[in-house]
A = this chain, B = another copy of it.
Amino acid sequence: MPATLSALSETYNHRLAAILPSPIRVIDSEFAQIPGILRLTLGEPDFAVPAHIKEAVKRAVDADDSHYATAWGHVSLREAIADYLATQFDAKYDPQSEILVTVGASEAIYATFNGLLNPGDKIIIPTPTFPMYEAIAEAMGVEVIGINTAPEFVLTPAKLEAAIAEHPDVKAVMFNYPSNPTGVTYSDAEVHAIADVLKQHELLVFSDEIYAELIYDAPHTSIASILPEQTILISGLSKSHAMTGYRIGYIAGPADLMKHVGKMHQFLVTTAPGPMMAAAEEALRNGHQDAVDMRNEYKARRDMLVAGLTELGFTAAQPGGAFYLFVKIPAWLDQDDMAFIHDVANTVKLGIVAGSIFGAGGEGYVRLSYAASMEDLQEALVRLGQYVALKKTAQ
């Protein structure tokens, strides 16, 4: 249990020091200490990995898939990803030079930012947003240009044009849909409208579409199918097949850009773990129905939750995808979302996340994850109902 030598107390990456650890995890850990609490805090599927995918892991282990894979990942998996993207989203990539397997979408985001941007570059990030994008940009000295998308939580061409006009030297735009934290997604027309602006300004787009399989009201249009020469597509198996702990993501993009991202990837992790790649390949080749089944279940949960919240007097952003609701704190209650989540946690033992931690536009909102069982969600509604009743009585 060594103490650090005091002379070394300033020996750390100073850019990192300014960045808080994942605020979602901080809140989740804090609430985990409250006895009897029900947490809808994390974006983690509650499903088990489908049995045939588990069997694929075991087969790979038995077949001694325990040596270094090629740096960009097993070729057979890259082929499965290429087939999947072509079939599902009409996005065509060469598995040899345009698809890279990563350790989850996290490493995909890190490798993309660090492979393609330089310290001092600017990136546009619409907010509210998953906090990791901003953290990674700040850690590498990239300047973040935020665009507040409230109250519709959709990046409009007008807002994007305005940000580009103000920052003509911007290098890239971060795009994430269906969105974490809002659950909002983009229609085909909306994706085309954003693509038009990006095309005109010749801007790179990092498109995190990891929730593309979890979409409930209309098909998903990938910007990679519209603007392939400017798109770095980021996705993975964590959400569609409940494989978060297996840590397999991927990146697809033009070979000229991917060579830089791939080099970064090698420095980061050398390559992804073999048996986990076998699981991803099985999911993409033979697990289409798994994703459909999970989607149907999430949709049923969403519909139940939206109905229950409406009855309690809450409104939410249009929840077209992912497994989050971004819920407005009713006007008759104090709008401080950080105070609200603590009050809810302490009085009725329900854990949810404050909207303001996701950046500008999130103030006065809270995020509920419905990656939880129907029973837990029903109980959450009961507790939220108790909270509302308590507050009404107190008024």
| Interfacial residues of chain A within 51-72, with CB under 8 A of chain B in the complex | 54, 57-58, 61-62, 64-69, 71
Is the pair B274, A246 in contact by a Cβ cutoff of 8 Å?
yes
Closest chain-B Cβ to A24's Cβ sits at a distance in Å of 11
A172 CB → nearest B CB, Å: 7
Let me know if A4 and B257 touch, CB within 8 A.
yes
Q: Bin chain A's interface residue count.
A: 35 or more
Contact A8 B269 (CB under 8 A): no
B7 A202 Cβ-Cβ under 8 A: yes
Interface positions of A from 249 to 279, Cβ below 8 Å from B: 253-257, 260, 263-264, 266-276
> Contact check: which of B7, B64, B71, B136 meets A267 at CB < 8 Å?
B136
Known A-B contacts A11-B171, A12-B115, A116-B13; the reply to A247 vs B264 at CB < 8 A is no
Given contacts A4-B256, A98-B1, A116-B11, contact A247 B273 (CB under 8 A): yes
Residue ranges of A at the interface with B (Cβ–Cβ < 8 Å): 1-5, 7-9, 11-17, 19, 21-22, 25, 42, 44-45, 48-49, 54, 57-58, 61-62, 64-69, 71, 92-94, 98, 103-104, 106-107, 110, 114-119, 132, 135-136, 139, 141, 171-172, 202, 204, 228-231, 242-247, 253-257, 260, 263-264, 266-276
B118 and A13 contacting across the interface, CB-CB below 8 Å: yes
